[in-house]
Structure 1
Amino acid sequence: MKYLKAFNTREKVLLSIILLAVGMAVFFYYDLPKGEEDQFVFEEEVEEGVEDKEVPLPAQESEVTIVLVDVKGAVVTPGVYEVSGNGRVKDVIQKAGGFLEEADQAQLNLAGKVIDEMMIYVPIKGETTVAAGSVTAESGLISINTADLIELQELPGIGPAKAEAIIQYREENGPFSASEDLQNISGIGEKTFEKLKDLITVQ
């Protein structure tokens, strides 16, 4: 009987401790300020948002077009050079080491844009020459089928853009069959052709 009484006393003590712990847990749960509870929820949402956010990939750089240009004549190192597709004649001359002292720079359009397979000839002072095939021997007319970018710009009303358009037309459609076909190119209308018709040939 004495042991049973002591056992009951221990049970009561343990039960009291358990009830006290449960009571404190309930008290602290309901006593938590509403602001702190919302803060915990907000922080969890922010962390989830950071994890879900995708990092944008860097934009790919556009490819640079490379063209081959043949440089001949009065330059330090004649040869074939690779240059950017938006390069100019002056850029190619620099790659060739620059002009020789006797070079006639006045006969070149250094601001002209280069194209693939283009040939640049630098004459010496006192020399008057045009690339073979671009001018007919008998008439002296410029052949719109063989003239290069520089030679085409010698024609009235033909700048770098129109000269490029003429060359591109030849590459895409073949040689011009008649001088009048030049009017098929955008920017070359009847008025411009009237200035050109006595200066050009398709031979």
Structure 2
Amino acid sequence: MEREDREATAALAAKLRLNLDRADDRICTETVDAASGETQPAPPTLHPPPARRFDERLERLQTRLGLSHLNRWVLVVVALIVAAVGLSVTILSWPDAEPAASAPAAAPEAAEAAAETIVVSVAGAVNEPGIVELEAGARVADAIEAAGGLADGADPGFLNLARVVADGDLVAVPDAADEAPPPGTEGTAGGLVNVNVASAAELDSLKGIGPVLAERIIEYREANGSFQSVEELAEVSGIGNALLDQIREQVTL
């Protein structure tokens, strides 16, 4: 009996060796029944579903790190908060698109100043005497040109053609045929000195006005235009209210 068992064992071992040689280094998936000596295919290997495998891996990682279930969820919450904060910072720091630069609109005051006009009366020896419209800053020569230019026999020698005219000014061009005024009285009318056309010598003849103030009066009217009133003489440097009262009856516009 014992001999038969040894023979059966040897036969079983030989059969297993034969099966292993046929496998060509492949994994043997068959089993051998020890009682009958027959080979049977190995039962199929049951693989756990992916979710279960992920949980198992997570459990192993958690065991290695020594984390409890509570700590794991705390770490998950912290990771979500960090991600949310990072996303918020990225969105807030994103540069805003700048609007395309547009040409600045012209200031209304500048447009009105550019279109400002003045009205001047031109009389005397001109081709078309009357009212003319000029741009602000125009001069006596511009007013004469706007009135058709000098007429035949005009004598503009005593006019300051470079003087800046103001709104409401009168530009009178003398005629050579008229009786010429005596020297030194070109800027006088009825014994009064016209401060808008008088020369430095005529202004110097006024009581209280010397050569210095006479030059300042001429500089003022060339820079600001004709005087609009006698009181405007007080704006000339050196002429106060007392001196203005003294010359008020000696001047005209």
Identity of aligned residues (%): 26
Aligned pairs, number? 134
1:161 aligns with 2:217: no
**Partner residue, 1:121:** 172
Distance 1:55 1:166, change over 3 A: closer
1:49 aligns with 2:97: yes
Separation of aligned partners in 1, 2:133 and 2:176:
27
Displacement of 1:165 in angstroms is 7.3
- Structure 1: segments with no counterpart, 5+ residues: 1-44
Map 1:40-79 → 2, pairs under 5 A: 49=97, 52-60=99-107, 61-63=110-112, 64-79=115-130
Q: 1:125 to 1:93 in 2, by over 3 A?
A: same
Counterpart pick for 2:147 among 96, 116, 121: 96
Please state whether the residue corresponding to 1:149 is helix, strand or coil.
coil
Q: Deviations over 1:24-63 (max 9, x none)?
A: xxxxxxxxxxxxxxxxxxxxx79x635x344243323432
Q: Which moved more, 1:58-67 or 1:81-90?
A: 58-67
Contact kept? 1:73, 1:123, Cα under 8 Å: yes
In the superposition, relative to structure 1, how do residues 105 and 85 fare at CA in structure 2: closer, same or farther (>3 Å)? same
TM-score normalised by the chain length of structure 2? 0.42
How much does 1:123 deviate? 0.8
User: CA 1:141–1:101 in structure 2 vs 1: closer, same or farther (change >3 Å)?
Assistant: same
Please name the residue that 2:197 is paired with.
Answer: 150
Structure 1: how far apart are the matches of 2:161 and 2:117? 19
Q: Deviation per CA, 1:99-125: give whole Å up to 9, x if none.
A: 122100101110011111111111111
1:59-118 Cα offsets, whole Å, 9 max, x none, are: 234323211111111111111000012100000111111112210010111001111111
1:185, CA displacement in angstroms?
Answer: 1.9
Contact 1:83 1:92 in 2 (8 A): yes
In the superposition, the TM-score normalised over structure 1's length comes to: 0.51
**What is the distance in 2 between the residues matched to 1:136 and 1:100?**
23
Contact 2:128 2:148 in 1 (8 A): yes
* Aligned-residue RMSD, C-alpha: 3.8
In the alignment, residue 161 of structure 1 is paired with which amino acid?
Answer: Y
Runs of 4+ in 1 over 6 A off after TM superposition: none
Larger RCO: 1 or 2 (CA < 8 Å, sep 6+): 1
Q: Which amino acid aligns with 1:62?
A: A
